[in-house]
Structures are given as structure tokens and as C-alpha cells.
């Protein structure tokens, strides 16, 4: 299969960004990080980059412009990469509205890959991560807000493929390779 747009979905701490980075480097995909649009807006508003300000900006943008705002803002980047013949990896598609927007624009070219991890392991990972660590209570709060307020569960539920990431990073890489073998994509030699 040529020229695919793969969006990675999952709850925080499942390994979405780790998977996206591996896909970008190993399969030479062009990467579009949806969270980068939120971080960019935080900086544009001259706010400190932190969990609270990211949440405020994320909710403000979605309240003003709709739950698909990030997908609409990323559309030109995705389209330009695809038009240039690149496969694209989207790190962090969140809402069902984003999914619907991209599905309407890209049809069968869009493939949703859900990365799943047990809650206990997510607590462990998120508690020790270097950027924006979270306590178990903060993880639970974020999960509920994301499921209720930004439709995060929908894209995970209807994903085309699911990878369980409860093992080592090598296990995750192997599962990603299996996923791409199913798509008939191979590692880049470059």
C-alpha cells in the first residue's frame, strides 16, 4: 500500500509518541504531532508551558472552534506531505470529531492505530516521565475529562488496528512491524 496516513490514538501513557517516533524513523514517515498545535498556541499566548495552561488552551480552542480544530489546523501539513508522496504518521489524534474530519478528507487513506496499555502500567510510566509527569489521581482526572469532554474514546474504539503495549520497547517495535507487514509496508533502507 502506498501513501498512507496513519493516526495513532490512545490514552495518555500508552506509548503513542514512542510508537510515532519509531514509525517516523524506521519507516521514514513524515510526522505531524497534534499536541504541537496546542503547545504552539500556549507559547503564542505567552503562557508558561505546563499541564494547566495546555488544558486551558486545549479546551478554549475546542470551545471556540470545535472539537476538530487541531485536525483542521494540521490538514495543510498532512496534505502537503501526502501530495509529495510521503506516508504520514499523526501522533495524538484525540477526538472523534477529528477522526470524522480526517476520514471525510482522506477516506481509505486514513488508518487508525490504537496503542493500549493497562492503567497500572500507565500510572507507572506517567509518574516517572521527564516531561509533565502525572500522579495516578491526575491520570484518572485527565482520562475522565478526555473521554467526557473531547470524545477520546471513539477513535480508540473504532481503530483499524490495536497494539497492546504492556511489554518492552522491543515488543512495541515488533508489534508495529507486524502492523506494517499487514499493510504491506516495509522498513525504509534510507
Name the residue range of residue 61's domain. Answer: 5-181
Q: What is the pLDDT of residue 190?
A: 44
Q: What is the pLDDT of residue 51?
A: 81
CATH number at residue 167: 3.40.50.300
Give the whole-angstrom CA distance, residue 169 versus residue 166.
9
- CA distances 133 to 32, 92, 107, 128, 146, Å, are 23, 17, 36, 6, 17
Q: What is the mean pLDDT of the chain?
A: 92
Q: Is residue 149 part of a domain?
A: yes
Give the whole-angstrom CA distance, residue 134 versus residue 140.
10
Q: Per the structure, how many domains does the chain have?
A: 1
At 99-128, the pLDDT tens digits run 999 999 999 999 999 999 999 999 999 999
Please state the rounded mean pLDDT for residues 149-176: 95
Share of the chain above pLDDT 90, in %: 81
Give the whole-angstrom CA distance, residue 117 versus residue 103.
25
In order, the DSSP letters of 152-188 are THHHHHT-SEEEE--S-HHHHHHHHHHHHHHHT----
Let me know: does 169 contact 9? Beta carbons within 8 Å.
Answer: no
Q: Is residue 120 part of a domain?
A: yes
- pLDDT band at residue 150 under the 50/70/90 scheme: confident
Q: Is residue 95 part of a domain?
A: yes
Amino acid at each position: 500500500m502506498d501513501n498512507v496516513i496513519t493516526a495513532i490514538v490512545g490514552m495518555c501513557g500508552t506509548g503513542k509518541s514512542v510508537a510515532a517516533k519509531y514509525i517516523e524513523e524506521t519507516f521514514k514517515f513524515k510526522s505531524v504531532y497534534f499536541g504541537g498545535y496546542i503547545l504552539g498556541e500556549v507559547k503564542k499566548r505567552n503562557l508558561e508551558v505546563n499541564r494547566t495552561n495546555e488544558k486551558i488552551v486545549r479546551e478554549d480552542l475546542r470551545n471556540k472552534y470545535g472539537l476538530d480544530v487541531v485536525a483542521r489546523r494540521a490538514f495543510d501539513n498532512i496534505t502537503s506531505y501526502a501530495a509529495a508522496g510521503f506516508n504520514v504518521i499523526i501522533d495524538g489524534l484525540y477526538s472523534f470529531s477529528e477522526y470524522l474530519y480526517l476520514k471525510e478528507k482522506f477516506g481509505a487513506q486514513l488508518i487508525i492505530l490504537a496503542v493500549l496499555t493497562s492503567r497500572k502500567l500507565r500510572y507507572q510510566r506517567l509518574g516517572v516521565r521527564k516531561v509533565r509527569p502525572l500522579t495516578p489521581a491526575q491520570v484518572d482526572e485527565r482520562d475522565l475529562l478526555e473521554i467526557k469532554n473531547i470524545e477520546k474514546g471513539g477513535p480508540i474504539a473504532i481503530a483499524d488496528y490495536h497494539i497492546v503495549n504492556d511489554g518492552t520497547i522491543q515488543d512495541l517495535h515488533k508489534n508495529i512491524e507486524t502492523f506494517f507487514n499487514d499493510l504491506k509496508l516495509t522498513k525504509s533502507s534510507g
